[in-house]
Amino acid sequence: MPVMTYRDALRSAMAEEMERDESIVLLGEDIGLYGGTHLVTNGLIDQFGPKRVIDTPIAEGGFTGAAIGMAMSGLKPIVEMMTWNFSFLAADQIIQTAAKLHYFSGGQVNVPLVVRGPNGGGVQLSAQHTHSLEGFYGHFPGLKVVSPATPADVKGMMLEAIRNPNPVIFLEAGALYGTKGEVPEGDEVVPFGKARVAREGTDVTLIAYGRQVPLLLRVADKLAEQDISAEVIDLRSIRPLDTETFVESVKKTNRAVVVQEQWRYFSVASEVCAVLQHEAFDYLDAPVERVSGAEVPAPYARNLEIAGFPTIDHVVSAARRVLYLEK
Amino acid sequence: MPVMTYRDALRSAMAEEMERDESIVLLGEDIGLYGGTHLVTNGLIDQFGPKRVIDTPIAEGGFTGAAIGMAMSGLKPIVEMMTWNFSFLAADQIIQTAAKLHYFSGGQVNVPLVVRGPNGGGVQLSAQHTHSLEGFYGHFPGLKVVSPATPADVKGMMLEAIRNPNPVIFLEAGALYGTKGEVPEGDEVVPFGKARVAREGTDVTLIAYGRQVPLLLRVADKLAEQDISAEVIDLRSIRPLDTETFVESVKKTNRAVVVQEQWRYFSVASEVCAVLQHEAFDYLDAPVERVSGAEVPAPYARNLEIAGFPTIDHVVSAARRVLYLEK
Amino acid sequence: MLLQYLLLPVVFIILVKVARRATRVKSVPYGTISHMSLVPHGEASVSGAAPHSFGTIEEAVVSRASVPDTSTDDRQAAEMDSPSPVDSQTERQAHVAYDAEALVGYYQKMVEIRLFEDATTKAFRQGKIGGYLHVYSGQEATGTAFLGAMKPEKGDVAIAAYRIHAHALLLGAHPNNVMAELYGKGTGIVKGKGGSMHLFHAEGGMLGGYGIVGGHIPLAPGYAYGLRYQGKDGVVQSYLGDGSIHNGAFHEAANLAGLWGKSGMCPTLFILENNQYGMGTSVERATAMTELGRKFESYGIEWERVDGMDVQATLAVAEQVQERVRETGKPYAIEAFGYRIVPHGAADFLEQYRSKEEVAKWREKDPIPLLHGQLIEMGIAEDRLEAIRAEAKAKADEAVKFAEESPDPDLSELLTDVYADDTYVEPAG
Amino acid sequence: MLLQYLLLPVVFIILVKVARRATRVKSVPYGTISHMSLVPHGEASVSGAAPHSFGTIEEAVVSRASVPDTSTDDRQAAEMDSPSPVDSQTERQAHVAYDAEALVGYYQKMVEIRLFEDATTKAFRQGKIGGYLHVYSGQEATGTAFLGAMKPEKGDVAIAAYRIHAHALLLGAHPNNVMAELYGKGTGIVKGKGGSMHLFHAEGGMLGGYGIVGGHIPLAPGYAYGLRYQGKDGVVQSYLGDGSIHNGAFHEAANLAGLWGKSGMCPTLFILENNQYGMGTSVERATAMTELGRKFESYGIEWERVDGMDVQATLAVAEQVQERVRETGKPYAIEAFGYRIVPHGAADFLEQYRSKEEVAKWREKDPIPLLHGQLIEMGIAEDRLEAIRAEAKAKADEAVKFAEESPDPDLSELLTDVYADDTYVEPAG
Ligand SMILES: Cc1ncc(C[n+]2csc(CCOP(=O)(O)OP(=O)(O)O)c2C)c(N)n1
Ligand SMILES: Cc1ncc(C[n+]2csc(CCOP(=O)(O)OP(=O)(O)O)c2C)c(N)n1
Ligand SMILES: [Mg+2]
Ligand SMILES: [Mg+2]
């Protein structure tokens, strides 16, 4: 299998699908002439022309709304949020229109729309430019919300996102754009609603998605050094949430740690804990632990930023706690 | 103690505080001449004049942002969201500016701002006009988020909200505006971060906030008929969340049901379950049950709307499940 | 081709002006808005017998100036009086000099809508309709003309806000299903899921039905782009209110429309229904620049103002601008200047924000009695118009009966239509 | 009083025009942007010896027209050339005919900012500054003049976006603390919490520092209202970019400003820094109506355009409009027309969206060499200007040294400043 970066895998999914399907257009700020701020769309304007790769003014609400209109007209627009931090300006369009239009039109109108862009922090962009919005968008029925962590998944899930007849919130792990991995050739769709066992283990289940997945793999290595066998679950899909995969895992390991960089309250980790206590009540040998971002707006200084996000040490500690190896 | 409606208690808190403190101004759509769509501000323009009761154009983002500017300048603005459904248009201002300004200015700037309005559904307003946004806003550090359920609390918490030097998201139970209750006279502040035991009991703890609190009291009556003694906890404050009160209660009853009209995923109930499995792990005799709104945009038809929200029967059933009285 | 199109108007405009002057009549006062109000006050029982007449805009302005009233009103009157930019810059053609027979057809449509709205208001008061209810009464001249100019066979569609019963009806939705929707019944046009604010009739080009003020405006330029991208010839009509124009969504949408229009990729006809109030907030309490149509200039969009209370005025431009947009692929804007002669919604009973006198004065310009008077002057028999009203009333009654007798939606409907592809819905809990 | 104020300009404008014509000079090409670029290319070592001159706007337009270039540029040149609405409608006064000594002071400020920015760019490339970095190089004439017109003692404040190092420095922040902030150090002006985009110096009236394009604009009319409500005399300067003007936040904020200004409750001076690009998107790829200042007319806000590359031009209006806004309580807008001679941010290295020639041509108008040439013409010795540059360089170096030697923030700082009243922070988990 060819090895490519997360960024290239993502671009190739869009480019390949655009070649197959003329109804796909891209919209966003500086995705064309500029090449895309994160170079995800670099070159696509040359390949597909400015009618299909549409540079927009800085008006997230307006162009997301316009993309909904395009979707209603029969196109399959892919909107780039330059970063998801700007999507609060499009929240009304995404939540009030895209998510609900099919329902309140009594099924008369579909919204085959993908909204994509980098999500999450880690590069000192500070308070306004650091958000991890899985729980925020995942709360709303009518949306599909995904958060792929590997080049293979980002490609396969983008193919699925484009073909899906519903509005899809596609949360890329911005910090992983440059990471490499094997990517199956061709048309390998990764369906939504299926978590992935990223590593098998027997003593404790570690659960995350996006940027925290590679972190958990490193944690698992660390734990292995201490003779602790960790199973790592990559949720991949936030809505629908595949509860079965992680519940089964915990029924086997009897212990779990959920890790996310988003804030703790009313988050993905909250829900995973709620599900586990309900579905694996008799299997849990210890309370599920969570490791989340610090309950503060993201700071700029490098040392503060690092202290505010989950680290290997934080997670190792939490794993040891659920194993009653430390307090 | 005088008896008054939720609406009047709310208005009197604002009016009394405005008399004491000239720096308070109100902004919102049709809060002045029109009298307020829900009559919460009715008469205040006559009492305080149009410089303090400011009718705005339909521009939620703009006037919320302007209110942040007012707060920076030394005023204490209270913004009315005609309904919280329109706040998605102000989400950027609330989440990106109000919540974080104190932090990213290194403490140089305060934002003493209240954003208030009716929240929740129940009167056939359908998909775009039915939201319960406690979890949505509660996710963000920098905000205080409250959801009072009684006339006494709505008054006491509004007093606290106005005096609080932080941005406060004040989620009123719109469906309860007309309900009556005793309200202490004078300056009785209800502090944030303190849940309320609305009814004592021994067999099961029922947890909610806002419109579901009176529902739970009726459920408790029903359960009493079946010789089940239910304790009812009204969270009141969502951020900060008083976990101690409900954890203590569950340590006593060993069983809990969490009820909300918001959607299940990544919600307040998720967090309450996550906390309980962590803090009361050894005390829980059954998995915590949740009763949430159906995972659909709110429908219009009365029968569908009723079916989509928590009902007495739903909650009674859940309570009986945690008592292993039914499956 | 385009040039020719631009020159034609000069020739024809005079014909129309002459025609309209011929129908000039004086105004009579109006009281209620109901079935009874569809002919001049006190005339219903003496059909066609008494002399009556309706004012043209120019006359109304003059007579109003002599009545002491709010400055607001004077300013707006003056604005209405001032020529709209297109009138003054490029005189236009009216394709059709509407004859009496054609106008009778429009009368019928307008009366049907009005009586339908009267029935909805009554049902709301009886508690049979829930949620919000916003009726279109008084704005019929605008919707009837512009929606009438749509060519569904070419892919034309309309996207509107929440005051839209008329839009659905005029685009071919059956009154029974629209009424059933308001009743929240399973036979409703969107299965009882949307209610008054979310009517859709995709088949007829009626694409909603949106409740967030301003939120629907960006959809239109996107849809329009989609049409041209797919090589289709359609035009998107985007309806918006005077209150929504101050919302950021308008600004962003209009800017996109102007921008995409530069390359002919945005056939959008904006129809700004300026009924002078956004709920309780009048135009000049909402903005310092009250000439609302001018706001389109910021985006390079040409516009003109029409009298939204007079169906002959709206008809005179509707088809032409629709075809202009189709031909150019560029957006164009209409400010239909009128007045909301009814409360904002069925629950707006206090109306503390405007005077009874102001409302009464504008009710004198109610477009239906205005047209009624014009038709009588043109020699149409009152009997015939009476018959039209009776038929429309019967239709509305039939819609109510249908709605009342229809079953509630099946409870299983709660969980359908969440996603387009399947019936999967996340489990609650 | 107000009337008097409006009449005065007629008298003085000629003086200024004459004065500026006297300093008219021809342009020379520019290459790099760095310390070396602060005097004309090739001149640094032969200080004041060779003849050199800088073009006025009018000459630049003429000479540019003869160079084949993008139509874009020609259009914009034409726009710049056209009189701004205030010039043409009400000729204005320049309070001060800036003498050479005063201009030397401005030169010093501009050079200080530029060399500070050069140092930040270098540190960013060395990986010592993280996150985003947007420098102000090339826009100094605007910030220096307008921020210089602020009267902090009256409560004047400025609210800006993220290209704001200059704003902080010009309002009295110490370069050491600003640089330390960029380095993410505990001695940073906001304790290392904000970084380049979130500088605050409340003491000097610098109120941010915001990273969401458009998001900060609504704060200004609110703050302005608050000032007047409290009986204070201050003025709020609201800086915004050409890219942000298409955002809904601008529309809503400007509309509020116009509305509140009707009753004198909104002393806001909008300063639209039109540097012709929002990241990689030029003005005419962002809107069909490219005369950006005109967009303020939609809100009843008067405006004028100034040459943002020439500090004498910006000085000629800055103080006057600041005082006009103070006196009227009404908003006013300036479009400072210039060019972003640097990349958008330190990470924008490709610049695929514009030609090297276009950039080179505008660099010829770099405001610092322009002023340098004017000063030389006025008889200021190059030695003296050289000394100013050397001193500024030393300041920038000192700031870097300070930043490098400063300690990281204490880890406990992570949890402070979340709430204003206490140190309570929700427990993570
Ligand atoms: C974003 C938003 N804010 C507020 C409302 C409440 N609201 C419903 S209709 C309306 C007035 C709209 O006025 P206008 O656009 O003039 O339309 P009209 O009602 O006159 O047809 C308001 C404020 C809303 N639905 N959405
Ligand atoms: C809402 C939002 N969208 C996108 C961005 C990314 N972004 C940062 S600066 C910028 C360009 C802004 O251009 P302009 O307003 O002209 O200011 P300039 O950079 O020229 O000073 C963009 C698109 C952002 N910060 N916020
Ligand atoms: Mg209106
Ligand atoms: Mg710019």
Distance CA D392, CA D394 (A): 5
CB of residue D340 inside a 6 A radius of ligand 2: yes
CB of residue D272 inside a 6 A radius of ligand 2: no
| Closest residue in chain D to residue C250, using alpha carbons only | D248
| Closest residue in chain C to residue B54, using alpha carbons only | C285
Distance CA B261, CA B212 (A): 7
Tell how far the Cα of C135 is from the centroid of ligand 1, in angstroms: 13
Burial of D29 (0-12, 13-18, 19+ CB in 10 A): exposed
Residue D84: its pLDDT value, please?
Answer: 56
How far does C318 lie from chain B, in Å, by closest CA? Answer: 28
Tell how far the Cα of C292 is from the centroid of ligand 3, in angstroms: 12
Report the SS3 class of residue C47.
coil
Tell how far the Cα of C110 is from the centroid of ligand 3, in angstroms: 20
Residue A132's alpha-carbon distances to A295, B94, B96, D5, in angstroms, are 13, 17, 13, 53
- Residue D83 pLDDT greater than 80, yes or no: no
Question: Which one, of D6, D68, D66, D54, lies nearest residue D26 by Cα?
Answer: D54
Interface contacts B/D by beta carbons within 8 Å: 158
CB contact under 8 A, A104 and C209: yes
Burial of A125 (0-12, 13-18, 19+ CB in 10 A): buried
- Residue D79 pLDDT greater than 60, yes or no: no
Interface of B with D in 18-57 (CB under 8 A): 23, 25, 51, 56-57
How far does C317 lie from chain A, in Å, by closest CA? Answer: 26
The residue of B37, B84, B126 whose CB has the most chain C CBs within 10 angstroms, and thus the best one to mutate to test that interface, is B126
Distance CA C202, CA D186 (A): 60
D71 has a chain C CB within 8 A of its CB: no
Residue C346: its pLDDT value, please?
Answer: 83
- The answer to whether residue B129 is catalytic is yes
The torsion angle over the Cα atoms of residues A27, A32, A33 and A38, rounded to 10 degrees, is 110
**Region for residue D339 given its phi and psi (left: phi exceeds 0; alpha: psi -120 to 50; beta: otherwise):** beta
CB contact under 8 A, D248 and C249: yes
Tell how far the Cα of B64 is from the centroid of ligand 4, in angstroms: 25
Average pLDDT, chain C: 84
- The pLDDT tens digits for B14-48 are 999 999 999 999 999 999 999 999 999 999 999 99
Helices (H), C329-381: 356-363, 367-377
Around ion ligand 4, which residues have CB less than 5 A away? D 241-243, 275, 278
The residue of D285, D287, D298 whose CB has the most chain C CBs within 10 angstroms, and thus the best one to mutate to test that interface, is D298
Decide: B148 and B157 in contact? Cβ < 8 Å.
yes
Across the 327 residues of chain B, what is the mean pLDDT of every consecutive 10-residue run?
97 98 98 96 98 98 99 98 98 98 98 98 96 98 98 98 98 97 95 98 98 98 98 98 98 98 98 98 98 98 97 98 96
CB of residue B283 inside a 6 A radius of ligand 1: no
B65 has a chain C CB within 8 A of its CB: no
**Region for residue A33 given its phi and psi (left: phi exceeds 0; alpha: psi -120 to 50; beta: otherwise):** alpha
Domains of chain D: 99-405 (3.40.50.970)
| Strands lying side by side in the sheet with C236-241 | C157-159, C236-241, C268-274, C332-337, C302-307
CB contact under 8 A, A59 and C255: yes
Q: Measured between alpha carbons, how far apart are the two ends of chain B, in Å?
A: 44
Catalytic residue among B17, B29, B60, B80: B60
- Maximum Cα–Cα distance for chain C, whole Å? 70
- The answer to whether residue B248 is catalytic is no
B164 has a chain D CB within 8 A of its CB: yes
* Weakest mean pLDDT among C26-40, C127-141, D262-276: C26-40
Catalytic residue among A17, A29, A38, A60: A60
- Residue C251 pLDDT greater than 90, yes or no: yes
Residue C40: its pLDDT value, please?
Answer: 53
Ligand in closest contact with the CA of A85: 2
For the whole model, what pTM was predicted? 0.92
CB contact under 8 A, D222 and B66: yes
pLDDT band at C177 (very low <50, low <70, confident <90, very high): very high
Mean pLDDT value across residues C332-351: 94
Domains of chain A: 3-182 (3.40.50.970), 196-322 (3.40.50.920)
Which tokens go with B256?
Answer: 């809990």
Q: Which residue has the higher pLDDT, D99 or D252?
A: D252
Distance CA D106, CA D230 (A): 34
The set of residues, in sequence order, having a beta carbon less than 8 Å from that of B283 and lying 6+ positions away, is B250, B251, B254
* Residues of B in Cβ contact (< 8 Å) with C197: 126, 128-129
Pocket test for ligand 2, best of D163, D247, D279 (most atoms within 8 A of CB): D279
* Weakest mean pLDDT among B73-82, C415-424, D214-223: C415-424
Decide: B154 and D409 in contact? Cβ < 8 Å.
no
Decide: B129 and C162 in contact? Cβ < 8 Å.
no
- Residue D53 pLDDT greater than 80, yes or no: no
Report the SS3 class of residue A177.
coil
**Rg of chain A taking only CA atoms, in angstroms:** 20
CA geometry: angle C128, C129, C134, nearest 5 deg: 145
Distance CA A103, CA C425 (A): 12
Mean pLDDT value across residues C78-107: 62
Interface contacts B/C by beta carbons within 8 Å: 151
Question: Going by DSSP bridges, is the β-strand pair B144-146/C281-282 parallel, antiparallel, or unpaired?
Answer: unpaired
Distance CA B275, CA B247 (A): 8
H and E: helices and strands count for chain A: 12, 14
How far does C215 lie from chain A, in Å, by closest CA? Answer: 7
- Residue D71 pLDDT greater than 90, yes or no: no
* Residues of C in Cβ contact (< 8 Å) with D301: 288
Q: Within 10 A of B221 (CB to CB), how many other CB atoms are there?
A: 12
Q: Is the dihedral of CA B267, B272, B273, B274 positive or negative?
A: positive
CB of residue B29 inside a 6 A radius of ligand 1: yes
Residue A186: its pLDDT value, please?
Answer: 85
- Residue C242 pLDDT greater than 50, yes or no: yes
Q: Which of C250, C261, C287 sits opposite D299 (nearest CB)?
A: C287
| Closest residue in chain A to residue C188, using alpha carbons only | A106
- The pLDDT tens digits for D112-134 are 999 999 999 999 999 999 999 99
Subunits in contact with chain D (3 or more CB pairs closer than 8 Å): A, B, C
Catalytic residue among B16, B102, B129, B248: B129
Residue C39: its pLDDT value, please?
Answer: 65
Question: Which one, of C221, C129, C252, lies nearest residue C183 by Cα?
Answer: C129
| DSSP classification of residue C294 | G
Report the SS3 class of residue C83.
coil
pLDDT band at D49 (very low <50, low <70, confident <90, very high): very low
Which tokens go with D107?
Answer: 């030169």
CB of residue C244 inside a 6 A radius of ligand 1: yes
Question: Which one, of C119, D225, D429, D351, lies nearest residue B27 by Cα?
Answer: D225
Residue D75: its pLDDT value, please?
Answer: 42
User: Which residues of chain A carry a pLDDT beneath 50?
Assistant: none
Question: Which one, of D268, D272, D223, D225, lies nearest residue D247 by Cα?
Answer: D272
Q: Is the dihedral of CA C245, C248, C253, C256 positive or negative?
A: positive
Q: Distance of alpha carbon A235 from its chain centroid, rounded?
A: 9
Report the SS3 class of residue B221.
helix
A79 has a chain C CB within 8 A of its CB: no
Question: Which one, of D282, D275, D273, lies nearest residue D70 by Cα?
Answer: D282
Position in ligand 2 atom list of the atom nearest CA D214: 1
A284 has a chain B CB within 8 A of its CB: yes
* Residues of A in Cβ contact (< 8 Å) with B134: 266
Ligand in closest contact with the CA of A58: 2
The set of residues, in sequence order, having a beta carbon less than 8 Å from that of C98 and lying 6+ positions away, is C106, C312, C315
Residue A38's alpha-carbon distances to A8, A34, A119, in angstroms, are 11, 10, 12
Decide: A50 and A41 in contact? Cβ < 8 Å.
no
Residue C90: its pLDDT value, please?
Answer: 38
Q: Which amino acid does the sequence have at C225?
A: Y
Residue C186: its pLDDT value, please?
Answer: 98
Which tokens go with C4?
Answer: 């020719």
